[in-house]
Amino acid sequence: MDIQVSSLAERPDRLPAVLDMADTWPEFVTNDPVGTSHYGRIPTELPDYALFAEDEHGRVVAHAYSVPFALAVEGRRTLPARGWDQVLTWAFADLRRGTRPDTVSAVSVTVAPHAQGHGLSSVMLSAMRDNARARGFSEVVAPVRPNAKHREPHTPMTEYAHRVRTDGLPEDPWLRVHARAGATIDSIAAASMTVTGSLEEWRRWTGLPFDTAGDVDVPGALAPVHCEPDRGYAVYVEPNVWMRHPL
């Protein structure tokens, strides 16, 4: 596939097409309150960090979002256990306060359903790294959502993330793409994303009954969703894997 990668700072006219691109995210993931508050701000408030790919017909086939933030400051210094949620909060707090960033965090790499299987995720990760390097950063970090972990929701991420093949690369395909790009595992973000909702909301998001107390296996979830039918709610706490990319 012949593609061209640009940023929304370079091509603001493509914002509607980027926002309209289809994706395959599970619906419950898009109802994380931190993501609801901040993710959609990246294309308009940080357009230099919103990259997208167009195919030879001018169709948007992938996008990659990242955010600059300050890590080497008091109260931070280490990558947070609250992963994706925390880095978004830090990035937009820093933007509001005018704090100088020293690190870039990947936020998402999304490929349109019809364009999957052409290696675009690797291309967009490389473009994200190049974009950060061009802006003077020496590191990209990423709270990685391993893309095969949903097949083993009960396996602890501490075990899953460190599985390797005979060639020494991670067993998980998305972790392997990061490793091939030069990244190494830093730590487990045990509570990277938290989604809470009423039982009615979870039923709408998943099509499951959510009528039994305890853990519920949900398609696309990396860990079970904890259901409390007597209290009328369910909670999903997603673990991710922090990976560090030296530039």
pLDDT level of residue 5 (50, 70, 90 thresholds): very high
For residue 239, what are the CA distances in angstroms to 88, 102, 122, 228? 16, 25, 22, 20
According to DSSP, the β-strands at 214-216 and 60-69 are unpaired
Q: pTM score, two decimals? A: 0.96
Give the type of residue at 98.
Answer: G
Q: What does the pLDDT read at residue 245?
A: 98
Between CA 127 and CA 112 the distance in angstroms is 17
CB half-sphere exposure, 80, CA atoms < 13 A:
20
Instruction: List pLDDT tens digits, range 23-73.
Output: 999 999 999 999 999 999 999 999 999 999 999 999 999 999 999 999 999
14 is written with which tokens?
A: 């493509």
Q: Are 193 and 35 in contact (CB under 8 A)?
A: yes
Q: How many other CB atoms sit within 10 Å of the CB of residue 72?
A: 8
Between CA 139 and CA 183 the distance in angstroms is 10
Integer-rounded Cα radius of gyration of the chain: 18
Q: Is the pLDDT of residue 1 over 90?
A: no
Q: Is the pLDDT of residue 166 over 90?
A: yes
Instruction: List pLDDT tens digits, range 199-237.
Output: 999 999 999 999 999 999 999 999 999 999 999 999 999
pLDDT more than 70, % of the chain: 100
pLDDT level of residue 167 (50, 70, 90 thresholds): very high
Backbone angles phi, psi at 83, to 5 degrees: 35, -115
Instruction: List pLDDT tens digits, range 183-202.
Output: 999 999 999 999 999 999 99
Between CA 11 and CA 6 the distance in angstroms is 7
**Mean pLDDT (whole number) for 89-109:** 98
Contacts 24+ apart (CB under 8 A), 84-89: 84/32, 84/34, 84/35, 84/143, 84/145, 84/189, 84/192, 84/193, 84/240, 85/32, 85/34, 85/35, 85/191, 85/192, 85/193, 85/194, 87/141, 87/143, 88/34, 88/35, 88/38, 88/39, 89/34, 89/38
Q: Are 104 and 49 in contact (CB under 8 A)?
A: yes
Which residues 6+ apart lie within 8 Å of 15 measured at CB? 8, 43, 44
Q: How many other CB atoms sit within 10 Å of the CB of residue 162?
A: 13
